[in-house]
Amino acid sequence: MWSCANPYTTSPGFQLSMNITEMCHTRCISSALKTRFYSLNPVWTVERPLAAGKMTQLLPSSLVLALVFSATDVILCTENNGCVARSFGYDSVVCECNSTYCDSVGPVSLPPLGQYSSYLSSRAGSRMEAGQGQIQVSSSGAGLRLTILPYQKYQRIKGFGGAMTDAAAINILSLSAGAQEQLLRQYFSKDGISYSVVRVPMASCDFSTRLYTYADTPGDYDLKNFTLAQEDMNMKIPLLLRAQAMSPYPLSLLGSAWSAPAWMKTNGALTGKGSLKGQPGGKEHKTWAQYYIRFLEQYAKYNLTFWALTTGNEPSAGRMTNYSFQALGFTPEEQRDWVAVDLGPALQSSSHPHTHILILDDSRLLLPHWAKVVLSDVHAARYIHGVAVHFYMDDLVPAETSLGATHQLYPEYYLFGTEACAGWGPLDRGVKLGSWDRAEKYAHDIIEDLNHYVVGWTDWNLALDPTGGPNWVKNFVDSPVIVDAKRDVFYKQPSFYGMAHFSKFLWEGSQRVGVSTSGKTQLEFSAFVRPDGSVVLIVLNRSSSTIQFEVWDQGVGYIPCTAPAHSLLTVAWNTH
């Protein structure tokens, strides 16, 4: 396996060290610099930006070169797509990408029956580090065994993804064309982490630069002046189309509205404590339902159709006095009646009757009560497909008494994670470049959710700037991708790779199966059988110790495994 250094544009003051071995007549081309390398066995290192003459002095005589580059731009390339690691003083590193280079997982295909593949990320710096080994016919005698129980069958996966907010779109489009392409490919292509779900805010949210809806003309009950915003036309729609073109399968789009137009609301404002005027069946409630239909129709003109809509982002927020950004309050009773009388019938009679309706779109703290109120009503329940939950404050309520209890009461309605971010709390605010701790929190929450019947998990902003914005109310948070437009680079956070361990491997239709342990362990894990019969096991080690264990799949044998301290491991194998 040969490798050559990363095709990475250095900038003054940035230290970059790379080794190049066994290039074996391989050509690495930077379209920006028209740089070509041909070699048999060179080994060299670049420690800093170099002038052309000094670069030549470092090159071995066996290397024949044709070089055209500036004194401060040195672009190299790699076969194995390794991370260009940068530390910003937190507990791990980010991987830096630019217009000509970004590390990537690449397409994943499993080895033949009798072997397994593994992918490791860790606080120590591993990023989807690939491994492969032989499945053993007998036990290694490891102290801990995880046994796959394929006959214990649970929920099927829908998918994983993030949100195309105004802020995400602004940040992506702040990059050069080449860097934009790299970023989108990282999320949506078969070489990237295979996101399949995109949440799309319907008009503005806090991660916008201004407050707006699609129907801001007072008294426009017929929505004659309904129109998509420039943010949709110039940013979100073009980016969604580009993402869809990269994806090997149709993206599942999920629409969520933050607020109804101010003139429809009791408080006459997009922010603060306010709900729809009147009662379900009244003109405001019916107009708000038609607003959803009009949104679907307008996006459909661009060949973007929505898998699902939520009944509105965080309805509990709109019941809080002086709430600082866009919200629309609903009690569970009000949401139940609006769906039963207005939204459900409007959607069913529209040109998009197969679009799913997800209720709640708020913290699992509100479960199972919210679900009981809405889903116990047959008139509302017949229009509803699932319950949407947010990640925030998950540590305040056990998954079993919220998610588990909801599933036991209403197993025919799926649970779906629709929003999560790090850096939202007052004691741990904003962007932390290289925080492994935040990646662990993501992975812990995803595994816990999956083990309690959740069928998918959606991150919040796909990309933010180094401050955690833009956000008109300065509600700055973190993101798996941070864009530095001044340098035309973006950083992939540890949480990006945390998401990858799930999104890359858990295809739509994968079914969770049982796992038993031979004893107590600090490991957290979840196992799935994919539609092709292959098995995926995801293991999180949040402890400070390396843990040796083996996996037993009765149909294929024993897999010896090691989970380093503070690591996330995905193991996958074929069963036939």
pLDDT tens per residue, range 279-303: 999 999 999 999 999 999 999 999 9
For residue 538, list its beta bridge partners.
526, 570
Closest CA to 94 of 481, 567, 563, 569: 481
Q: How far apart are CA 42 and CA 102, in angstroms?
A: 23
Q: Give yes or no for a contact between 480 and 172, defined as CB atoms under 8 angstroms apart.
A: no
Tokens of 214: 């699609």
Tokens of 259: 């607020």
Q: How far apart are CA 446 and CA 457, in angstroms?
A: 7
Q: How far apart are CA 25 and CA 144, in angstroms?
A: 47
Q: How far apart are CA 424 and CA 502, in angstroms?
A: 23
- pLDDT above 70 coverage of the chain, percent: 86
Q: For 301-359, how does the pLDDT look when each residue is reduced to its tens digit (9 = 90+)?
A: 999 999 999 999 999 999 999 999 999 999 999 999 999 999 999 999 999 999 999 99
Is 80 exceeded by the pLDDT of residue 73?
A: no
The type of residue at 428 is D
Tokens of 336: 């139940």
Say if strands 145-156 and 481-484 run parallel, antiparallel, or are unpaired.
unpaired
Q: For 503-518, how does the pLDDT look when each residue is reduced to its tens digit (9 = 90+)?
A: 999 999 999 999 999 9
Q: Give yes or no for a contact between 446 and 497, defined as CB atoms under 8 angstroms apart.
A: no
Told to judge if 314 belongs to the known catalytic residues of this protein, a careful annotator would answer yes
- pLDDT computed for residue 175 by the predictor: 98
Residue 54 phi/psi, 5-degree rounding, is -65, -35
Full 3-state SS string of 76-135? CCCCCCCCCEEECCCCCEEEEECCCCCCCCCCCCCCCCCEEEEEEEECCCCCCEEEEEEC
Which one of the listed residues 334, 419, 440, 524 is annotated catalytic? 419
Closest CA to 58 of 82, 37, 84, 78: 37
Told to judge if 79 belongs to the known catalytic residues of this protein, a careful annotator would answer no
- pLDDT computed for residue 416 by the predictor: 98
How would residue 20 be classed by pLDDT, with cut points 50, 70 and 90? very low
Q: Give yes or no for a contact between 45 and 17, defined as CB atoms under 8 angstroms apart.
A: yes
Q: For 96-119, how does the pLDDT look when each residue is reduced to its tens digit (9 = 90+)?
A: 999 999 999 999 999 999 999 999
Tokens of 229: 């915003």
Q: How far apart are CA 341 and CA 74, in angstroms?
A: 63
Tokens of 442: 């993501």
Looking at every residue in the chain, the average pLDDT score rounds to 89
Which one of the listed residues 96, 284, 314, 448 is annotated catalytic? 314
The type of residue at 270 is L
How would residue 129 be classed by pLDDT, with cut points 50, 70 and 90? very high
Residue 410 phi/psi, 5-degree rounding, is -135, 65
First to last CA, the chain: 28
How would residue 142 be classed by pLDDT, with cut points 50, 70 and 90? confident
Q: Give yes or no for a contact between 574 and 111, defined as CB atoms under 8 angstroms apart.
A: yes
